Amino acid sequence: MGKSGVPNNDEFYMKIALRLAKKGLGFVNPNPPVGAVIVKDGNIIGRGYHTRFGALHAEREALLDAKKKGVDVSGATMYVTLEPCDHYGKTSPCTNAIIESGIKRVVIAARDPNPVSGDGIKKLLKNGIEVKVGVLEDEAKEVAKFFFKYVTTGLPYVTLKYASTLDGKIADKIGSSKWITQELRKEVHKLRSIHKAVLVGAETVLKDNPILNVRLPKMKFKNPDVVVLDENGRVLKKVIADIDKFELFNPNYDRRVIIFSSNQCQNIEFPEYVKVKTPENLSVENILKELAKEGIDSLLIEGGASVFSQFLPYADEVYGFYATKVFGKGKSIFEHLEIPVEESEIPFEIQNLKISKNMKELMVVMRRCSQGLFSTYVKDTSMVRG
């Protein structure tokens, strides 16, 4: 027992580290969110987390915090949600900082799946530091799920989100879906705030002129980049004619806009934050690869119907928002899917349910079955934490 009377329990402190890690969600991509806590004699003497891409790693933040407080960390235990890196990047390896500090024990939730990060655990052990691995490992992998998929497959984590009526309609005949759910819209904005990018089809841009920013009162967040699938160049054509007409291209939202198109338009000058990509192959797989190269570790698919059908087979998670409404006739969510009946079962498990306050809306979260979620991914070592 520590002085404070709190049990000196590894899980207890790891939970605090995980809570810190989550603060980095949406700011650190494509790095993982990581949290760290330094404990001595049962007291927390340092806290830190990776705050944004390019900033200090969590371990160094925690050490800095302790230093600022003027406390000596020698002999202390560090709890960190991901294996410390042993890699020379913008700074020297975190392992070095830990070893130099005099910390004698390091508790790690999950191993870093990225071989480029080096073998931090081995380095610590070699330097006489006691290491324990696997405390709240599943929780840590959950918090850093974008990173785990990204570094092990070279593809972004794909989340598909739709809002539909009970009978699976996403829109009436005029194609507007904005107003199907109301209270649970906040969940959509939370999703946007943690993903590196949001993807929509040309149809959605032309019909709805969406902003696709994050609208969460009283919260700090970063707007995700926007990706537009514009196969036939319909959006490009209109943007070239009058870019100011489109909310997406408003520079105030401080984000990149990436347009995939088959149209060549090398002569057109776009603002710096707009990038037009014209790969030969506009398959979903190739688009995902191209986005990974842009540092996009997580992608939220926001429709419309044709885009939903294209991306469903690549989704890691699906958020279905159902309103207690019935359209009868109208546009169906996956109406562009052409699948044989025997393949209609999607490999997803229901993970989470939420009902709106007024009990009129339902959120169903579905996750690709965990069996083999990460294990089937092919290793790709081209990505390094920055």
Known binding residues for substrate: 177, 192, 212, 215, 302
Nearest CA-CA partner of 82 in 29, 10, 14: 14
* Residue numbering of the annotated binding site: 57, 85, 94, 163, 177, 179, 192, 204, 208, 212, 215, 302
Smallest distance from the beta carbon of 312 to a second copy, in angstroms?
A: 7
Choice between 41 and 167, CB closer to a second copy: 167
* Residue (242 or 343) nearer to a second copy, CB: 343
Smallest distance from a second copy to CB 314, Å: 14
Per DSSP, 347 falls in state S
Of 59, 83, 187, 361, which residue is the catalytic one? 59
Closest CB 302 distance from a second copy, rounded Å: 17
State which residue, 89 or 320, has the beta carbon closest to a second copy: 320
Minimum Å gap between C-beta 359 and a second copy is: 4
Q: Binding site for NADP(+): residue ranges?
A: 163, 179, 204, 208
186 alpha-carbon distance from chain centroid? 17
The CA distance from 299 to 199, in Å, is 7
Measured from the CB atom, is 214 or 323 closer to a second copy? 323
CB of 349 to a second copy, least distance (A): 4
**C-alpha–C-alpha distance, residues 291 and 205, integer Å:** 19
Q: What value, to the nearest 5°, has the Cα angle with vertex 38 and ends 222 and 195? A: 20
Residues that bind a second copy (CB under 8 A): 164-169, 172, 309, 312, 320, 322-329, 332-339, 341, 344-346, 348-351, 353, 355, 358-362, 364, 366
Residue 331's Cβ-side half-sphere holds a number of Cα atoms within 13 Å equal to 20
Q: Which is nearer to a second copy, 246 or 348 (CB)?
A: 348
d(CA 266, CA 288): 22
Nearer to a second copy, 364 or 373 (CB): 364
247 is catalytic: no
Q: How far apart are CA 308 and CA 315, in angstroms?
A: 10
Question: Residue 115: enclosing H or E segment and its boundaries?
Answer: none
Cβ atoms within 10 Å of 217's Cβ, excluding its own:
6
* Burial category of 343 from C-beta neighbours within 10 Å (exposed 0-12, middle 13-18, buried 19 and up): exposed
Shortest reach from residue 286's CB to a second copy, in Å: 23
User: What are the helix (H) ranges across 79-221?
Assistant: 94-101, 120-126, 137-143, 145-153, 185-194, 202-208
Q: Which of 82, 216, 208, 69 is nearest to 151 (CA)?
A: 82
**Which positions make up the binding site for Zn(2+)?**
57, 85, 94
Q: Which residues are catalytic?
A: 59
